[in-house]
Structure 1
Amino acid sequence: MDAGGQGTTATRLRASGSVFAEEEAEVLRAAARDADELEAMTRRREAGEFLEQVVGEVEVMGERLVVAPGVFVPRQRTALLIGEAVREARARRAPRVLEMCAGAAPVAALVARSVPGARVHAADVDDAALAVARQNLPAGAVLHLGDGWAALPPGERFDVIAAVPPYVPRDRLALMPREAREHEPTAALLGGEDGLDHVRTLFAGAADRLARRGVLLLELHHGQCRAAAEVARATGRLGAVDQVLGADDGTAVLRVRDPAGNLIPIQQPAD
């Protein structure tokens, strides 16, 4: 089966700019139920829509997650954050885990699938994103709709809080891939002039949301970690700060403990 009449699927994808045209064509052919659906999917991909949005799912760390048009697509680099969240959750009994800025909730979903007894929550300002998250989370997961910490009930605390906040600086948006600029909400990408506006909001309220010895984990670009760590320390209400670098030397996870965390840092943010 192929999108006939206008060249093979791979040829058309290559012409539209796909670097991995053959591989993407195989994914589309496997997902399409018939030639008409393959044609529709091919046209969507030619128009620049994420392959994952076209086929309705993404695979992260061997797990399949639902995605949808107009919702931020989980990136492979977020495996670093997910791995840290799973490790922290496994170190606790019946941990309460919250994913802020959740989107499709890849962190909460994979923690729920990897850590028996974990009680997972996801919060986002976008109800369309939470509708996708609901499909990825277990029946007992709790979803919170609202802006930042205001989405949560007063006084609720968590052992592990993780987030991929929007952290792209404003002047970098034009350099992002077309598919992100045109097919994801700008609000899910941009973090203000320096990319840290949402990070500041998360740090400002984290102390009131972390359980004793809790940890806040944020995905950032490694070049932002020093400035973000200073923001965390400036609150005067948070404990030790360190970072874990990804293999690509671009992605990092900034870890911030509550004051009782007694963290022995793996790697301090670079000077």
Structure 2
Amino acid sequence: MPPLSPLAVVAALRSAGCVFAEDEAELILATARTPDELAAMVDRRATGVPLELVLGWAEFHGLRVLVEPGVFVPRRRTEFLVDQALAHVPDARVVVDLCCGSGAVGAALATALGPVELHAADVDPAAVRCARRNIAAFGGHAHAGDLFDALPDQLRGRVDILAANVPYVPTGEVGLLPTEARDHEPLTALDGGADGLDILRRVADAAPDWLAPGGCLLVETSERQLTAAVEAFTRTGLSTHVAVSHDLYANVVVGVRVSGE
């Protein structure tokens, strides 16, 4: 079988319903090392595997982040969470990426901040393995476990940036997600409970014990969940506000531990 031509790759992707077939074809052609690998990658993408999992990486905040099967693919909108963290604590020295998935947020923060003590944690062992690869260059530590239970106790009261990309899709709406997410990403990274805020509330409740004075907790959520998410933050004593990017359709709740509390 002769190698697939660029035009044939584009045609195959377009017929499979890929909206950005030309762009995706260019990335696949640049990544495939052999004709057989090219054919396999095109076939996987045509059957609905997310492009990032086909390539083995995702572009995030200027980085090429490794992604593996079964691991949540970082979204471009989450770059706004990274930007908000950097704006609030530009001199952070202790960073935690909670519900880390691939570790993309932690890697992006470490890249921008310079030398930091970086920790990433997730309940999913596959995510922890993937994150460990992505944060190794920064001397980062990846931990497996349920939220704060995964973290070393020595971090209590020392965390400058606590970025938690928690699942926030209501259980009853998981089935409405795009097929790529439903079929190829772990349910634990998507399902946020009855109203989508179960994990967010748990994180907000415990965060003050882990934050340094002036440290901030940042969580992404949907527009319709903002009021309830802000309430979850403020009841724990965090000074709270909302940041919104209309361009990225991103909503981030930011809670700061006031100095002296």
Partners of 1:159 and 1:211 within 8 A in 2 = yes
Distance 1:249 1:87, change over 3 A: closer
Residue 140 of structure 1 is matched in structure 2 by: 139
Identity within the alignment, %: 41
How far 1:240 moved relative to its partner?
1.1
Q: Which letter does structure 1 place at the counterpart of 2:109?
A: V
Partners of 2:78 and 2:220 within 8 A in 1 = yes
Residue 238 of structure 2 is matched in structure 1 by: 239
Paired residue total: 256
Distance 1:257 1:119, change over 3 A: same
Give unpaired runs (5+ residues) of structure 2.
none
Distance 1:191 1:107, change over 3 A: same
Partners of 2:91 and 2:113 within 8 A in 1 = no
**1:129-208, aligned counterparts within 5 Å?**
129-137=127-135, 138-157=137-156, 158-208=159-209
* 1:222 pairs with 2:220: no
Distance 1:252 1:113 in 2: 23
Q: Which letter does structure 2 place at the counterpart of 1:51?
A: L
Distance 1:163 1:120 in 2: 14
* 1:27 pairs with 2:49: no
Distance 1:247 1:261 in 2: 35
Normalising by the residue count of structure 2, what TM-score does the alignment of the two structures yield? 0.92
Give unpaired runs (5+ residues) of structure 1.
263-271
Query: What's the Cα RMSD here?
Result: 1.9
Partners of 1:121 and 1:144 within 8 A in 2 = yes
Query: Which structure's residues are more often helix, by fraction?
Result: 2
Distance 2:260 2:144 in 1: 29
How far 1:199 moved relative to its partner?
0.3
Distance 2:46 2:248 in 1: 31
How far 1:155 moved relative to its partner?
4.8
Distance 1:219 1:150 in 2: 21
Distance 2:96 2:14 in 1: 40
Distance 2:248 2:163 in 1: 20
**Deviation digits for residues 185-232 of structure 1, max 9, x if unmatched?**
111111011110100110111111111121101111122111111122
**Deviation digits for residues 48-83 of structure 1, max 9, x if unmatched?**
111011111111122111111110000010110011
Distance 2:250 2:140 in 1: 28
Q: Which letter does structure 1 place at the counterpart of 2:52?
A: E
Distance 1:97 1:48 in 2: 35
Distance 2:13 2:176 in 1: 22
Residue 100 of structure 2 is matched in structure 1 by: 102
Distance 1:91 1:155 in 2: 20
Residue 120 of structure 2 is matched in structure 1 by: 122
